[in-house]
């Protein structure tokens, strides 16, 4: 019975919860049993809170028809994981930092409050790099999270624990965050789906950078309908976040039911050679995007001019680090990992003119991206320049034979869409010759998450790759060549 439950999609599980064919306590038991089996191999969910989860489940079960059950995104008692960057009341929340290794918040983050109000049950905190900085999930508090397709490889970052938790069937849905690809690259590396919503779609609540559009909260899942369900749970106005706005009149889950495939697609494997992408990844992604032609879609190779957007991203990202990490750098420098020290000091050394140039460059790039969307419904690229790499490394050393300058060097496919504030979905596209997952990034204009997810849903139907998860973790070696 437990195995049958963990293999259900989130949408199926919620439907059964609504009919009372299964109870929240049964799902919690199934999640607990699966976590016990999987965790020794992957280290995705280092902090568990089953007593708290069962207490929440009993409160839900005591009310037969709660008014929230009529709202979009109602989860009805479904177990979920919450990234360890995000506070859960009464549960150890470390942000992946030794500075906060014993931190237990008294109040949950607003997005967690929303998830729990709508029937999501938090059973675990998912592992993250220190303060979410990095494309590989490891920290000094909990260690490394491993990729279930090959446990010698990284799960990606920074929502690596969340991606693994849904890929292995530990939970049905995972909450995460995204700055330069932190929902999209782990989704790609673990062959699940993740969406970076538009800024303001989901509350960031307690963030220090409340007026910056770079970092957002969002969902991960095993398939697109489940992703839409969890985005419905999270979306909406929140007084704690000045960028938020009301949820759409039609739910994201509902919009998928009447959506058609995109008519015109702009596809670029590497922005005319300006972003590094491995040759085999390009070939796999090209074959996947061509599947849209089976639906009558017109596909044209096109990319907006990047201009100086990579440098602009690093300037604005570094300023983001100054807001978030300046105080820790002053008081606890010895407890910060080198990448965080480097990024924060880079920000502290920047001039007002550099910041002004970066903002002008971002505005110019945004206008070029919007011009593209006047002609095309969605913009598709690979979701990562290389498949998952050695779990012991912070980032791939090279892409297509070219050495990377820093830990963010392989992130520009994702970061470009971050800079344009686009809604962007990572969806599985296939596997390389070593069995490593490869994915596509499907982007739509700001606030057009439904459009991006609909296109991803049609590709998912064509490939059937969503039916390959959940999986049991597999041992392997780091590929050479």
Cis amide prior to 470 (ω within 30 degrees)? yes
Residue ranges of domains in the chain, CATH in brackets: 2-468 (3.90.1300.10)
Would you list the DSSP string of 263-302? SEEEE-SSTTTTS---HHHHHHHHHHHHGGGGGT-EEEE-
Tokens representing residue 226 in the block: 């489940």
pTM, rounded to two decimals: 0.98
Q: Looking at residue 1, what is its pLDDT?
A: 61
Task: Kindly give the confidence (pLDDT) of every residue in the chain, 481 residues in length, as a single tens digit, with 9 standing for 90 and above.
Answer: 678 999 999 999 999 999 999 999 999 999 999 999 999 999 999 999 999 999 999 999 999 889 999 999 999 999 999 999 999 999 999 999 999 999 999 999 999 999 999 999 999 999 999 999 999 999 999 999 999 999 999 999 999 999 999 999 999 999 999 999 999 999 999 999 999 999 999 999 988 999 999 999 999 999 999 999 999 999 999 999 999 999 999 999 999 999 999 999 999 999 999 999 999 999 999 999 999 999 999 999 999 999 999 999 999 999 999 999 999 999 999 999 999 999 999 999 999 999 999 999 999 999 999 999 999 999 999 999 999 999 999 999 899 889 987 778 789 999 999 999 999 999 999 999 999 999 999 999 999 999 999 999 999 999 999 999 999 999 999 998 6
Would you list the DSSP string of 99-148? GGTT---SS--HHHHHHHHTTEEEEEEEP-SGGG-SSS-EETTTEE-EET
Which residue from 479, 11, 464, 440 is spatially nearest to 221, judged by alpha carbons?
Answer: 11
Q: Looking at residue 397, what is its pLDDT?
A: 87
Q: Looking at residue 379, what is its pLDDT?
A: 99
Q: Check: CB of residue 89 under 8 Å from CB of residue 131.
A: no
Q: Give residue for tokens 């140039």.
A: 357
């Amino acid at each position: 019975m437990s195995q049958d439950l963990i293999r259900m999609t989130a949408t199926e599980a919620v439907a059964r919860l609504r009919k009372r064919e299964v109870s929240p306590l049964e799902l919690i038991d199934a999640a607990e049993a699966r976590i016990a089996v999987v965790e020794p191999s992957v280290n995705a969910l280092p902090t568990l809170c089953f007593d708290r989860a069962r207490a929440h489940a009993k409160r839900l079960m005591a009310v037969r028809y709660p008014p929230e059950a009529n709202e979009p995104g109602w989860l009805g008692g479904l177990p979920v994981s919450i990234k360890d960057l995000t506070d859960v009341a009464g549960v150890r929340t470390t942000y992946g930092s030794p500075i906060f290794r014993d931190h237990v918040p008294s109040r949950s983050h607003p997005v967690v409050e929303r998830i729990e109000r709508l029937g999501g049950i938090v059973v675990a905190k998912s592992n993250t790099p220190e303060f979410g900085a990095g494309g590989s999930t490891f920290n000094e508090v909990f260690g490394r999270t491993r990729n279930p397709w090959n446990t010698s490889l990284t799960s990606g970052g920074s929502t690596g624990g969340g991606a693994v938790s849904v890929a292995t069937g530990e939970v049905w849905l995972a909450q995460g965050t995204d700055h330069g690809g932190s929902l999209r690259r782990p989704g790609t590396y673990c062959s699940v789906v993740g969406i970076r919503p538009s800024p303001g779609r989901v509350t960031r609540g307690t963030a220090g950078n409340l007026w910056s559009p770079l970092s957002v909260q969002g969902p991960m899942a095993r398939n697109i309908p489940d992703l839409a369900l969890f985005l419905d749970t999270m979306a909406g106005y929140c007084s704690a976040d000045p960028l938020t706005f009301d949820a759409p009149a039609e739910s994201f889950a509902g919009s998928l039911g009447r959506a058609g495939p995109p008519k015109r697609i702009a596809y670029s494997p590497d922005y005319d050679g300006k972003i590094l992408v491995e040759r085999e990844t390009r070939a796999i992604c090209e074959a996947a995007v061509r599947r849209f032609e089976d639906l009558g879609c017109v596909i044209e190779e096109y990319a907006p001019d990047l201009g100086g957007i990579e440098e602009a991203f690093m300037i604005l990202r570094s300023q983001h680090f100054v807001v978030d990490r300046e105080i820790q750098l002053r008081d606890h420098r010895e407890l910060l990992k080198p990448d965080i020290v480097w990024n924060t000091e880079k920000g502290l050394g920047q001039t007002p003119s550099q910041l002004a140039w970066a903002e002008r460059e971002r505005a110019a790039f945004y206008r070029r991206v919007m011009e593209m969307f006047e002609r095309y419904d969605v913009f598709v690229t690979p979701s990562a320049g290389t498949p998952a790499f050695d779990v012991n490394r912070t980032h791939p050393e090279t892409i297509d034979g070219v050495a990377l300058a820093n830990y963010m060097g392989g992130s520009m496919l994702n970061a470009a869409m971050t800079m344009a504030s686009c809604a962007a979905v990572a969806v599985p596209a296939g596997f390389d010759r070593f069995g490593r997952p490869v994915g596509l990034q499907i982007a739509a204009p700001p606030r057009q998450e439904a459009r991006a997810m609909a296109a991803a849903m049609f590709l998912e139907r064509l490939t059937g790759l969503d039916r390959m998860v959940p999986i049991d973790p597999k041992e392997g070696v780091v590929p050479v060549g």
